[in-house]
């Protein structure tokens, strides 16, 4: 991508905004942003890996 | 940023060279003179990367050299900077002191530290501040390709779209998991049992059981505490069992002879055996004697026959001597007498053998009979012992029964026992029901716990779906915002640059917000990109680069590697004019191998390789 940084910043802004509207905690919003950053850097991180990262270290295993 | 000087050591064809740059610099040289190398060296000095993504940094080094270096002098926001970078990755930035007398070293580590001085990322700079002829390959073809808009293609947004698609699929997975949990939960049905009612029933059962227990105790106490029906039943059962066992033993014993008879027979046999003390000859020896007698008799008879034959002949066959009949008669008579004696002996021995054999047979039969009698006697003794033992047990059980029965008569016992038994049966039923009810209550509690767990899981699954949806929405909005923000700026910038690109005046070029693809209209007709001439597309491409540069940021320098290639002289003149226009707003560095194109520019701004 031509400017990962620019897009990453845009994504982060919107995630935080949507998290606030939907009552999602700041921690969860940062988790999404962190996982998104990993997925951007790693082209082999597919949907299953993203989902796996989302459910990691959660109290209830879905 | 304004680039003033570039020094290269062991880069490409340069062992050690220095180049000065003005606002508009033309680098002129024949093919393989090192024009592109200079452009690459500029990009490398700034970003430590190769501008041509198909090549690597070591490819920059001069042939035979392992290390090359580039030093770039530039000014940024009124600061004079000197950026040195070797192909080993070492970087050093120095800034000139305000009095202009000495260089002060600032950073010697990563490109991150260079950000304040080289603020545009490498990939954006590559798009907005550099032009390579290779870039045109796709642009000159029919674009946009693969449903991508022109801008998307220029911005290389494939990775974003892939990630966008993956986030949507992640949401799909999260929803699928939630659905699975819901299905599992729906299969978990609560039993129809009402816990409150069940609890009440349990209490009632306990009360009823307590009442029956008390009643049984009272009844047993009232019957003297003796006539416990369960004990009486058990004792009666024991007595019956013993009696049955004794009867079956008696039946088996009745099939055997009387014990007295057997004892008498045994004594008789023992007596007969003890009396027969006579020593008998060995039957085998007698048999051998008989055989011997038979042989002797046979031999004598044969001799008598031979002598009788000889008696009838007048002379001997062998010697011819005359034979005496009297002599033969005497010899025959002697042999007959001897034969008679042997036959008598044989008869005696045969008789003796018969007697011995008969006696031995009798002795064997007696022994067998003795064995049978002894076995039967042992069996009778065994049965007698067992019957005695059973009788003892029977007497004991009968005594116990009598003791348990106490003073109550049979009628009273029967009535009391029946009542107690009924109560006990009722007690057992209630206990059974109570246990069943407790199990059901536990089952319901377990189901409730399971349901709570499922609810918690569903809440978590909902939360995950929400997180995924937020990520998707944020992605969509970021893409839209990127497009929208850029689009606005690109559109504005295009209008501005269109004034300079007079060559494209006959076209009405605008970027549509939806498609992000330029709409080109001329004389009322809409053109597709591939309906434009090559030179028109080159100019459009340069204009887009400048406009995108305004939108996304640029270095303040526009560096072009051989942009005039493929243009006729008239178009080259237009391009040169355009670049001069651009140089009023950005520093321009342009390379060419076309002397006519190079000659269009003032000679003061020229680097001849």
Closest CA to B238 of B381, B394, B372: B394
Asked if the model's pLDDT at residue B516 lies above 80, the reply is no
The per-residue DSSP string of B194-216 comes to -HHHHHHHHHHHHHHHHHHHHHH
Using a CB-CB cut-off of 8 Å, the residues of chain A touching B181 are 62
> What are the pLDDT tens digits along chain A (62 aa)?
456 777 888 899 999 999 999 999 999 999 999 999 999 888 899 999 999 998 886 654 44
Q: Which residues on B lie below 8 Å from A15 (Cβ)?
A: 470-471, 474
* Contact across the interface for A6 and B473, Cβ inside 8 Å: no
- pLDDT surpasses 80 at B88: yes
pLDDT for the residue B28: 93
Interface of B with A in 459-518 (CB under 8 A): 459-461, 463-464, 466-468, 470-471, 473-475, 477-478, 481-482
Q: How many Cβ pairs closer than 8 A exist between chain A and B?
A: 111
pLDDT digits (tens, 9 = 90+) for B337-346: 999 999 999 9
Contacts of A13 in chain B (CB under 8 A): 478
Of the ranges B89-103, B477-491, B516-530, the best mean pLDDT one: B89-103
Nearest neighbour of A36 by CB, restricted to B178, B459, B471:
B471
Is A46 within 8 Å of chain B by CB? yes
Q: CA nearest B597: which of B577, B578, B569? A: B569
A41 reaches B (C-beta below 8 A): no
The neighbouring-strand residues paired with B26 are B590, B606
Residues of B in contact with A42 (CB under 8 A): none
Average per-residue pLDDT in chain B? 83
Which of A3, A10, A36 lies closest to B123 in CB terms? A3
pLDDT of residue B224: 58
- pLDDT band at residue B462, thresholds of 50, 70 and 90? very high
Chain A residues lying within 8 Å of B457, measured CB to CB = 60, 62
B561 vs B326: which has the higher pLDDT? B561
Give B226-282 pLDDT, tens digit per residue.
556 677 778 888 899 999 999 999 888 888 888 888 899 888 888 887 776 666 678
What's the confidence (pLDDT) of residue B252? 86
DSSP B279-341: PPPPHHHHHHHHHHHHHHHHHHHHHHHHHHHHHT-SB-TTT--B--HHHHHHHHHHHHHHHHH
Average pLDDT over residues B93-116: 76
* Angstrom distance (rounded) from CA B124 to CA B435: 78
CB contact at 8 A, B111 and B90: no
CA distance B440 to chain A (A): 28
Question: For position A32, what pLDDT does the model report?
Answer: 93
Is any Cβ of chain A less than 8 angstroms from the Cβ of B155? yes
A24 touches chain B (CB under 8 A): yes
In this predicted structure, the answer to whether residue B465 has a pLDDT above a threshold of 80 is: yes
Residue range B156-178: mean pLDDT, rounded: 88
Q: What percent of chain B has pLDDT over 90?
A: 29
Residues of B in contact with A51 (CB under 8 A): 170, 173-174, 464, 468
Dig out the tokens for A46 from the structure.
């597919």
Other CB atoms closer than 10 Å to residue B230's CB: what's the count?
Answer: 12
Q: Supply the pLDDT for residue B598.
A: 92
Decide: residue B561, CB within 10 A, 0-12 exposed, 13-18 middle, 19+ buried. Answer: buried
**Over 70: is that where the pLDDT of B409 sits?**
no
Among B209, B191, B184, residue whose Cα is nearest residue B442: B191
* Inter-chain CB proximity B460 and A54 less than 8 Å: no
Rounded CA gap, B525 and B537, in Å? 17
Compare all CA atoms of chain A with the CA of B181 and give the residue at the minimum distance.
Answer: A62
Mean pLDDT to the nearest integer, B539-549: 84
Q: Assign B467 a pLDDT band (cuts: 50, 70, 90).
A: very high
Note the pLDDT of residue A49. 92
CB contact under 8 A, B157 and A2: yes
The answer to whether A6 contacts B552, with C-beta atoms less than 8 Å apart, is: yes
In sequence order, the 6+-apart residues with CB closer than 8 A to the CB of B85 are: B44, B45, B48, B69, B70, B71, B72, B91, B92
Check residues B229 and B94 and name the one with the higher pLDDT.
Answer: B94
What average pLDDT does this structure show over B286-300? 92
Per CB-CB distance under 8 Å, the chain A contacts of B170 are 47, 50-51, 54
pLDDT confidence of residue B530: 65
> For residue B73, with 0-12 CB atoms within 10 Å meaning exposed, 13-18 middle and 19 or more buried, which class applies?
buried
Whole-number Cα distances in Å, B288 to A58, B292, B342, B347, B581:
110, 6, 14, 14, 156
**What are the residues whose beta carbons fall under 8 Å from the beta carbon of B477, sequence distance 6 or more?**
A10, A14, A18
Q: What is the mean pLDDT of residues B197-205?
A: 88
pLDDT surpasses 70 at B444: yes
- Check CB contact under 8 Å for A6 and B159: no
A18 touches chain B (CB under 8 A): yes
Judge: B157–A43 Cβ closer than 8 Å, yes or no. Answer: no
**With an 8 Å Cβ cutoff, is B437 touching chain A?**
no
Strand-pair partners of B131 = B560
* Closest in A7, A15, A50 to B160, CB measured: A7
Position B437 pLDDT exceeds 50? yes
Q: Do residues B42 and B3 make contact, with C-beta atoms less than 8 angstroms apart? A: yes
Residues of A in contact with B167 (CB under 8 A): 36, 47, 50
pLDDT at B594 over 50: yes
Of B154, B166, B474, the CB nearest to A46: B166
Structure tokens at A4: 């990962």
Mean pLDDT across the stretch B33-41? 92
What is the token pair recorded at A22? 């939907």
**Looking at B387-391, B536-540, B575-579, which range is the least confident one?**
B536-540
> Are B127 and B545 spatial neighbours (Cβ–Cβ below 8 Å)?
yes
What chain A residue is nearest to B182 in terms of C-alpha separation? A62
CA distance A46 to chain B (A): 6
Identify from A3, A12, A23, A34 which residue to disrupt to test chain B contact, counting B C-beta atoms within 10 A and taking the largest count: A3
Nearest CB to A11; choose among B159, B177, B474: B474
Kind of pairing between the strands at B103-107 and B91-96: antiparallel
Contact between B552 and A3 using a beta-carbon 8 Å cutoff: yes
CB contact under 8 A, B473 and A39: no
ipTM (interface predicted TM): 0.94
């Amino acid at each position: 991508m031509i400017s990962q940084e620019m897009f990453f910043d845009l994504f982060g802004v919107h995630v935080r905004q949507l998290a606030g509207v939907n009552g999602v905690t700041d921690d969860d919003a940062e988790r999404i942003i962190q996982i998104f950053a990993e997925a951007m850097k790693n082209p082999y991180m597919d949907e299953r890996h993203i989902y796996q990262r989302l459910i990691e270290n959660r109290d209830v295993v879905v | 940023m304004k680039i003033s000087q570039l020094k290269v050591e062991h880069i490409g064809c340069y062992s050690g060279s220095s180049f000065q740059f003005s606002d508009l610099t033309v680098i002129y040289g024949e093919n393989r003179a090192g024009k592109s190398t200079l452009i690459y060296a500029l990009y490398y000095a700034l970003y430590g990367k190769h501008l041509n993504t198909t090549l690597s940094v070591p490819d920059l080094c001069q042939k035979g050299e392992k290390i090359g270096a580039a030093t770039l002098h530039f000014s940024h926001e009124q600061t004079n900077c000197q950026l040195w970078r070797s192909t080993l990755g070492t970087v050093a930035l120095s800034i000139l002191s305000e009095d202009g007398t000495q260089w002060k070293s600032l950073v010697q580590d990563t490109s991150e530290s260079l950000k304040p001085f080289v603020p545009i990322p490498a990939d954006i700079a590559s798009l907005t501040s550099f032009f390579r002829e290779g870039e045109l390959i796709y642009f000159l073809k029919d674009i946009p390709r693969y449903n991508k808009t022109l801008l998307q293609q220029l911005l290389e947004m494939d990775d974003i779209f892939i990630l966008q698609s993956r986030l949507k699929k992640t949401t799909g997975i999260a929803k699928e998991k939630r659905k699975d949990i819901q299905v599992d939960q729906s299969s978990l049905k609560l039993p129809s049992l009402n816990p409150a009612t069940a609890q009440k029933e349990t209490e009632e059962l306990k009360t009823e059981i307590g009442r029956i227990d008390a009643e049984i105790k009272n009844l047993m106490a009232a019957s003297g505490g003796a006539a416990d029906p369960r004990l009486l039943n058990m004792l009666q059962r024991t007595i019956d069992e013993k009696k049955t066992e004794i009867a079956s033993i008696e039946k088996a014993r009745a099939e055997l002879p009387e014990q007295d008879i057997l004892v008498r027979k045994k004594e008789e046999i023992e007596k007969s055996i003890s009396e027969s003390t006579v020593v008998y000859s060995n039957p085998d020896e007698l048999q051998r004697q008989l055989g011997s007698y038979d042989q002797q008799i046979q031999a004598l008879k044969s001799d008598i026959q031979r002598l009788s034959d000889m008696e009838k002949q007048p002379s001997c066959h062998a010697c011819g001597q005359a034979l005496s009949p009297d002599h033969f008669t005497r010899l025959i008579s002697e042999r007959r007498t001897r034969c008679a004696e042997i036959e008598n002996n044989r008869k005696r021995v045969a008789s003796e053998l018969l007697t011995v054999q008969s006696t031995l047979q009798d002795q064997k039969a007696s022994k067998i009979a003795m064995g049978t009698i002894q076995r039967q006697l042992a069996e009778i003794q065994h049965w007698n012992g067992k019957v005695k033992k059973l009788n003892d047990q029977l007497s004991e059980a009968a005594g116990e029964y009598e003791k348990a029965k106490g003073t109550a008569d049979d009628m009273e016992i029967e009535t009391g026992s029946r009542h107690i038994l009924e109560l006990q049966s009722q007690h057992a039923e209630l206990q059974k029901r109570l246990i069943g009810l407790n199990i059901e209550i536990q089952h319901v509690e377990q189901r409730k716990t399971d349901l709570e767990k499922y609810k918690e899981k569903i809440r978590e699954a909902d939360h995950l779906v929400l997180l995924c949806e937020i990520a998707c929405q944020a992605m969509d909005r970021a893409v839209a915002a990127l497009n929208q923000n850029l689009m606005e700026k690109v559109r504005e910038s295009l209008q501005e640059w269109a004034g300079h690109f007079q060559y494209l005046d006959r076209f009405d070029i605008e970027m549509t917000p939806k498609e992000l693809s330029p709409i080109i209209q001329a004389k009322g007709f809409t053109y597709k990109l591939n309906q434009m001439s090559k030179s028109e597309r080159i100019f459009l491409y340069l204009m887009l680069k400048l406009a995108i540069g305004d939108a996304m940021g640029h270095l303040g320098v526009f560096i072009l590697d051989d942009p005039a290639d493929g243009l006729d002289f008239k178009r080259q003149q237009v391009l040169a004019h355009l670049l001069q226009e651009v140089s009023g707003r950005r520093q321009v560095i342009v390379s060419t191998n076309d002397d006519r194109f190079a000659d269009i520019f003032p000679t003061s701004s020229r680097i001849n390789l």
